[in-house]
Amino acid sequence: MNREPVPAFVALGANLGDARATVLQAFEDLGQLPLTRLQARSRLYRTAPHEASGPDFINAVACIETGLTAPELLQALQSLENTAGRQRPYPNAPRTLDLDLLLYGEASIDSPRLTVPHPRMRQRAFVLCPLADVAPARVHAAELAALRDQPLEVLNGPV
């Protein structure tokens, strides 16, 4: 069944191993998913763990266009996490790779496995700043201003 491609936004984060290399590889891997094309990459950001422990995180956001359904995309994202060695020993544990589906077109999904838009994305500078890089119309200046006390460091220009 051919579906009309849907724009989707995925948050990327890592704080174990070579986190920067892992996030850059994850951008490439997202573009290799079935029926999916990488449209844009945000800059990379370094942030202290938020409600988590371990080393600093490298964070980013990818804009993709996909023919996968939201549940299929979630499954594919979790498969990429597993391939990168993601383990879940306890909530908010340090991670080799974390991929969160932020937005899936204009869909509103609330199921036991998936909530879209991501329920906490507007509370996190490490998500909104890179989202603003790739989709400025999806982030309001007032939202960014409200998070200015959450420090983050820009590591590079657009990739």
Report the chain (159 residues): mean pLDDT per 10 consecutive residues. Answer: 86 94 96 96 92 87 97 96 76 80 94 90 94 96 94 76
Spatial contact of 43 and 60, defined as CB atoms under 8 Å apart: yes
Q: Catalytic: 86?
A: yes
Give the active site residue among 41, 46, 95, 124.
Answer: 95
CA dist 112 and 59 (Å) reads 26
| Domain containing residue 143 | 6-151
pLDDT at 85: 78
CA proximity to 66, closest of 159, 147, 2: 2
Q: Is 158 a member of any domain? A: no
Question: Is residue 98 among the annotated active site residues?
Answer: yes
Token pair 């995180």 in the structure block, residue: 57
Per-residue confidence (pLDDT) for residue 159, from 0 to 100: 46
**Is the separation of the CB atoms in 101 and 10 below 8 Å?**
yes
Number of domains present in the structure of the chain = 1
**For position 126, what pLDDT does the model report?**
94
CA distance linking residue 59 with residue 10, whole number of Å: 11
Reply yes or no on whether 110 is catalytic: no
Alpha carbon distance 55, 44 (integer Å) = 16
Which domain CATH number covers 147? 3.30.70.560
> Does residue 156 belong to any structural domain of this protein?
no
Q: Kindly give the pairing relationship between strand 115-116 and strand 57-66.
A: unpaired
Query: Pick the catalytic residue: 41, 46, 86, 124?
Result: 86
Model-level pTM? 0.92
Which listed residue (41, 46, 100, 133) is catalytic? 100
Residue 159: inside a domain, yes or no?
no
